A and B are shown apart, each in its own frame.
Chain A
């Protein structure tokens, strides 16, 4: 499932969409089936060994097997109607091998016995051998110890699939009613829940069993001015997170109050939609921005996407090397810039860390999809580019002795490759609140929530919009703006970073649908930051007449 399909599902797109027809989601099942246990871990090991042994006997020098059970639940509503409740399950295996120095991959749906496993492994070896003639040099893997039989579970408090569908429907219909009561003309809301039960076995001797949970409550409110025919929308300020249903049980400590309430580890959907309906109405009469240079104060609910596009993507080593040249693109952050040890990616206060272990994040796992234990490492330290994101067959290229553990496939049926870990901006070291940051700004715009986004194929030039824009005049918030988008260049932008609020304001945003690869695969990833100030950024006015 990709971003466009999801937008259609949410009613933000146009063409209708029948969910069960999306093959990537698997078959539809009863809600109770989402709670049934998957295969026993001893059986998974037996199946995995069958594939690993078959691969080796056919001449593979390396093999890994992923046995995956992927569960999804969607509850989809608009206004006073439940539009759809969908439960899906997809089970299968993917076998990846190196033979004659070349990768080969084959997948099998519903593989349940040793013979199915061996067949998939043999097919993967045959594909590797067929393609070896198009190779320039053999694949080289960073050394990797086997961990034996290990397991990892996301530290959730409440499995969302255990919550009755009726409770979820009641929540969303309540949210919709609140939106309508507060002036919305239309509202769509969705609860999207994911459980990945993944098993990875490698010829290095790792057998890792993992249980991963994600949840994303989202809505879209539309307000229309009948007289002028103008309409405005406001999306939820929630974040997709690597948590259970506890994300929807808020407590006051998770709320960030201010011009509008934002949320940390717990999300109050009812409160947010009430504000959203009023703000979408307010946007209809907001002042249209005057184009020019502004100091920007960016909330974490907005800044995550700018980090994702302008830092997360350019530091993916496969892009830097040219493996994504035909689709996602390459990168301005070339190896010579990294080798110089003085490429100033951002101002001195800018520190970006990659982290596959961050609790509550979308990217957190114990082991990646080639059996490497996950970790945390620096990408940019004191503003200087210091590292990339690399997996086993890339580590040697940047002089690393081991993989960074960020290999991922979005299904048992797709081949794993380098995907973005959680990439976050460290909070400021000296105490600074949002209020104090705004007090210092003479002519600025405070942006909350993510909106339109676009960046070039080497990640220089970008343009971003948001959900809410507030004008800052002489240290005070002067009112709401609309038609705002800012354009900048990655290096220029991060070097204009002038202040970062402290850890108290640090929050995660993220995406369920980071797309890369051909055929395209989706990955879920989080990005944390505290509210951050950028000086002198170019803002354009996006209002047009048709």
Chain B
């Protein structure tokens, strides 16, 4: 059987699996994907590979006793065996007080995240994309190290209450570090698309090459508080820490940056600048995502932070029921609304500041204040009187995205970026921030 099933094939397979069920409730999640990658370093290819995965997860429940079993072989005997196994585990399991049962049929938004251009990529196409990148660096005293990875996959689910969902999707991520041959300059670029025909590895390579050359004679600046312009690739890794932390249960339990004394939360309160709106929308054409969560809940367009105010937190179905709230699933995509300024406009309006193109090794220092540390990397520049004056040595920062978004000066136009920490794709605007805290210097290039 093919790894990637059509909607009709997935439906037929899931119907068959459910026909074996004898449990009170049964839910089956099915997925398959084919991933291909190529990696290069020192201006030559190093490794490449391709891997196909398929997985079927059966969850059976007798009352509040729940068992889960998985399988990656789909013949009839294996399918019946996995259902029996899930039922056997359910009977042996202790009651799960947090089990709230399965959902009935749902209606989902339409979202197109599948592109033939990505699905049909071959090893030769990947090698050709890399050859275009290498042609540029090999002829310019530059050294390239990059990675290209594409995925073509689908997810489907069905349950004994009649819920059925199917979503096919594709994605390609390309990242590249270009270093000057003397090791004094380094530039980076990362691009993520659902539609591979939008990826131009030569154009991306020119961006990284330009940053590498421009950063080659970096000067040291004193650490301290600076106005910074965070390019979207830099901003994404701090913003995603905030996105990951919108869980209602942790906030209600008193162990989140959204908690308040006395068991209260900051829901409904202004926590950042009123120009900040953070939302999710599975139908966004720039960043399409599955319109349903793993438990079958529909994903809607939802504002997490609207005009600086906490509008929504993620409630699991159990926690929502316990708190008397509406369940809100964790989203499948996240975006931050922007302004109209271009990056050039933002530089022009800056008297004295630092342009940060990438941040690296982001780690939590204090969950209470969402304080994170990390460093600038692969191109950091000093701005004076509206112009980039020269490259500067890298800094370590200690900063909270919450404090940062209270010190907002300007938002630019959002663009799709790839997180260098999680590989997640987001829509993030360039941001100008005042009083960003750099606490020490690094000699790293």
User: Taking beta carbons and an 8 Å cutoff, which residues of A are in contact with B?
Assistant: 4, 13-16, 18, 20-21, 23, 27-28, 30, 81-82, 102-107, 109-110, 127, 130-131, 133-137, 185-186, 222, 224, 226-231, 233, 321-327, 329-330, 332, 413-415, 417, 452-461, 463, 465, 483, 485, 487, 489, 518-519, 538, 540, 542-546
Contacts and interface: CB of A to CB of B under 8 A. Distances in A.
Nearest to A90: B72
B402 A546 contact: yes
19 contacts: A4-B422, A15-B314, A105-B48, A134-B40, A185-B254, A230-B368, A321-B42, A322-B42, A325-B143, A414-B49, A452-B363, A454-B361, A456-B360, A456-B377, A461-B394, A487-B440, A519-B35, A542-B371, A546-B370
B443 A489 contact: yes
B396 interface: yes
Given A326-B145, A546-B403, A229 B261 contact: yes
Contacts of B439: 487, 540
B268 interface: no
Contacts, number: 234
Interface stretch (B6-14, B102-110, B127-135, B348-356): B127-135
Contacts of A23: 53, 55
A489 B365 CA distance: 19
B45 A461 contact: no
B294 A18 contact: yes
A54 B342 CA distance: 57
Contact of A461 (B72, B98, B250, B443): B443
A324 B46 CA distance: 10
B402 A454 contact: no
Main secondary structure of the interface of B (DSSP, over half): strand
Q: List the 10 closest pairs (A to B, CB-CB), nearest first.
A: A229-B261, A461-B442, A325-B145, A458-B444, A456-B444, A134-B45, A326-B145, A518-B147, A14-B247, A544-B369
B127 A136 contact: no
B375 to A, nearest CB: 5
A135, A229, A233, A518 — most chain B CB neighbours (10 Å): A518
Interface of B: 29, 31, 35, 37-51, 53, 55, 57, 68-73, 85, 89, 94, 96-98, 123-124, 127, 130-131, 134, 143, 145-147, 149, 175-177, 179, 183, 186, 188, 244-247, 250, 253-255, 257, 259-263, 271, 294, 314, 316, 330, 360-371, 373-375, 377, 394, 396, 398, 400, 402-403, 422, 439-445
A545 B31 CA distance: 44
Contacts of B443: 332, 458, 460-461, 489
B400 A546 contact: yes
Given A136-B42, A540-B439, A226 B145 contact: no
A543 B365 CA distance: 9
B259 A136 contact: no
Nearest to B35: A519
Nearest to A545: B369
A332 B369 contact: no
B73 A110 contact: yes
Given A28-B69, A130-B127, A456-B375, A326 B262 contact: no
B55 A21 contact: yes
Given A131-B127, A325-B143, A457-B444, A546 B271 contact: yes
B131 A127 contact: no
B444 A105 contact: no
A343 B422 CA distance: 36
B294 A456 contact: no
B376 to A, nearest CB: 9
Contact of A229 (B85, B247, B260): B260
Nearest to B246: A14
B96 to A, nearest CB: 8
Of the candidates B49, B250, B364, B439, the one having the most CB atoms from chain A within 10 angstroms of its own CB is: B49
Contacts of A20: 55, 57, 68-70
Given A134-B44, A545-B369, A415 B49 contact: yes
A459 B442 CA distance: 9
A518 B177 contact: no
A133 B370 CA distance: 48
A452 B364 contact: yes
A127 B46 CA distance: 12
Contacts of B374: 454
Given A30-B85, A229-B260, A460 B444 contact: yes
A371 to B, nearest CB: 19
Contacts of A545: 369
A489 B37 CA distance: 35
A227 B398 contact: no
Given A127-B50, A458-B445, 9 more contacts: A13-B244, A15-B244, A15-B247, A81-B97, A230-B368, A321-B42, A325-B186, A332-B443, A457-B361
A457 B377 contact: yes
Contacts of A82: 94
Contacts of A540: 398, 439
Nearest to B130: A134
B48 A131 contact: yes
A483 B29 CA distance: 44
A519 B149 contact: yes
B445 to A, nearest CB: 7
B318 to A, nearest CB: 10
Contacts of A28: 68-70
B254 A224 contact: yes
A137 B45 CA distance: 11
A502 to B, nearest CB: 33
A281 B147 CA distance: 46
A336 B154 CA distance: 50
A447 to B, nearest CB: 15
Nearest to B124: A130
Contacts of B176: 326
Contacts of A454: 361-363, 373-375, 396
Contacts of B85: 30
A351 to B, nearest CB: 25
A457 B396 CA distance: 12
Given A326-B41, A326-B145, A461 B441 contact: yes
B133 to A, nearest CB: 10
Contact of B365 (A81, A460, A519, A542): A542
B199 to A, nearest CB: 16
A93 to B, nearest CB: 13
Contact of B44 (A136, A487, A538): A136
B238 to A, nearest CB: 13
A66 B71 CA distance: 23
Contacts of B371: 542, 544
A543 B368 CA distance: 9
